[in-house]
Amino acid sequence: MAQVVVIGGGVGGCATALTARKAGCQVEIIERMDSLSGLGPWTGQLLGWILRQEAKLMDGGTSDIIQLMESLAIHTKPEFDVPKGNVTFDVTRIEEGTRKLIEEAGIKVRYRSRVADVEMAGNQMVAALLEDGTQIKADAFVDATGRTGGVEWCEKLGQGCVQCMLKCTIFGDRVSIAAKAGVPDREENWNYFPMPFIAMESLSGEMRGRIEGTPGGYSYHSIPGELLERDFTSEWRRSDRPVTTRIKGKQEGKLEVVHVPFAKCTLNLPLQWWRHITGFENAWLVQPLSADGETVGTGFCAQREDTMRVKGLANLFAGGLRSGRFSAFVEVMMAGDLAGHNAARHALGMEPLPYPSSIMAGFFFNEVNSGCTPNDWIGLGLEDPRFKAKGFSTTDYGKIRERVVTSGWLGALGRKLS
Ligand SMILES: Cc1cc2nc3c(=O)[nH]c(=O)nc-3n(C[C@H](O)[C@H](O)[C@H](O)COP(=O)(O)OP(=O)(O)OC[C@H]3O[C@@H](n4cnc5c(N)ncnc54)[C@H](O)[C@@H]3O)c2cc1C
């Protein structure tokens, strides 16, 4: 049976693996940690409603993981969401659910196995080499190692290691597989992912009551003016490299506190600043990531074709965050779907395909590849003029379905390739 090896078992790598498996390949995930789903348990909101419908209609691995996340919904907030139907899910269950999907699909996982190097023969990747020298061969490989960390970069561009979910000090830094294969990563801008998880018990009784008493367990509050005036970017800046920050709270002048089941906020502040906010006087963090510390991410994009194949190489594809300047789950996983599908196609002697440009996924992934402004695709709002201009902005499921049907991709990622 044709063999596909996926390096990195984050949600991007898991979607990749599931899709390659659906296409009929024997699939193995190599993961440096002792768990699957990478950064997933740190996050919590499923965005991108239109892309989500397309992913489900195409039926790759993303469809399975989206349905899992939706089944773990804590609440939906249609009144705040763009375009509608964003889902805040229980992050504590995502690893377990993803692992079950992978096991049920018959995908082998090699845990605690960091790929340190690759073996090449011309433009063909022959094997992934683990730190202990173990050689893992396959017909096609997918680099799904994410873009976050390791310690070296968090020290150079951030404020040092915050001992985040990726646990680099235990399992070793991430490795860019495409770069090891001879294709240097693209120079990207950097940003930080601020997302404080605050212990509910450390909030004032009144604040807890407001969050827990709100249907769905969330609450919006005003941000004190003096905090809004702070220049967060320069406060966080450590090096001469330009950094950008994504602070929804600052932009919108409001503070979103969600109970998931800790309090998670879209505004990152150093702890001593939090304590200026009424109700947060004794705030304490359940996750070290936040308040004066953040992971460094979004660099290290692999150079790829629209098919997700790494430029200049025959059998290495890029999936998940590695595939471009986007960061939300749905894009990350759909990039994985295409990488997994095309890795399978290659392994079975077929030419890889791009997503059709007549659906939003095709327009989006090809546009990102051709180089739009970094970070301006986050959230994939229905109001985005680029989507409007192309006629993609709709909440009409029937229209979305029709586009996928007309493109010929209905169920295309869920079918076994002959
Ligand atoms: C704090 C935070 C909050 C976020 N919130 C949201 C949100 O609310 N909604 C949303 O849509 N998105 C959110 N995101 C973004 C989203 O979580 C990520 O884009 C997504 O999880 C990335 O998945 P990935 O699999 O591509 O990469 P990663 O999760 O980084 O996974 C990469 C995997 O590769 C493994 N790996 C790396 N190198 C090697 C190697 N050499 N050998 C073997 N394995 C290796 C790593 O251990 C890891 O498991 C958030 C991100 C962060 C950090």
pLDDT, tens digit (0-9, with 9 covering 90-100), for 185-198: 886 655 555 556 67
CB of residue 334 inside a 6 A radius of ligand 1: no
Of 215 and 9, the structure prediction assigns the larger pLDDT to: 9
Domain borders along the chain are: 3-190+297-407, 194-294
Of 253 and 192, the structure prediction assigns the larger pLDDT to: 192
Give 111-144 pLDDT, tens digit per residue: 999 999 999 999 999 999 999 999 999 999 999 9
- pLDDT bracket for residue 244 (50, 70, 90): very low
For residue 264, pLDDT over 80 is answered with: no
| Top CATH class, 3-190+297-407 | alpha beta
Q: How far is CA 242 from CA 4, 66, 298, in A?
A: 38, 34, 13
pLDDT score, position 293: 47
- pLDDT bracket for residue 234 (50, 70, 90): very low
Pocket test for ligand 1, best of 68, 145, 147 (most atoms within 8 A of CB): 145
pLDDT score, position 77: 53
Pocket test for ligand 1, best of 7, 28, 43, 262 (most atoms within 8 A of CB): 43
For residue 40, pLDDT over 80 is answered with: yes
- Please report, for the chain, how many H helices and E strands are present, in that order: 16, 18
Atom of ligand 1 nearest to the CA of 148: 30
Write out the two tokens for 98. Answer: 């993803």
Pocket test for ligand 1, best of 39, 98, 143, 177 (most atoms within 8 A of CB): 39
Exposure string for 11-41, b = 16+ CB within 10 A, e = fewer: bbbbbbbbbbbbbbbbbbbbbbbebbbbbbb
- pLDDT bracket for residue 84 (50, 70, 90): low
Among 92-106, 161-175, 242-256, 308-322, the minimum mean pLDDT is found in 242-256
Give 286-342 pLDDT, tens digit per residue: 655 544 445 566 568 899 999 999 999 999 999 999 998 787 889 999 999 999 999
The predicted model gives 233-259 an average pLDDT of: 38
For residue 42, pLDDT over 50 is answered with: yes
pLDDT score, position 109: 98
pLDDT score, position 337: 98
pLDDT score, position 137: 98
Closest Cα to atom 50 of ligand 1: 43
Q: How far is CA 104 from CA 15, 16, 47, 218, 336, in A?
A: 14, 15, 26, 34, 19
399, HSE (Cβ side, Cα atoms, 13 Å) = 9
pLDDT score, position 294: 54
CB of residue 40 inside a 6 A radius of ligand 1: yes
CB of residue 329 inside a 6 A radius of ligand 1: yes
Q: Pick the most confident of 29-33, 73-77, 246-250.
A: 29-33
Q: Name the average pLDDT for the chain.
A: 81
Task: Return d(Cα 185, Cα 128) in angstroms, integer.
Answer: 18
Of 88 and 13, the structure prediction assigns the larger pLDDT to: 13
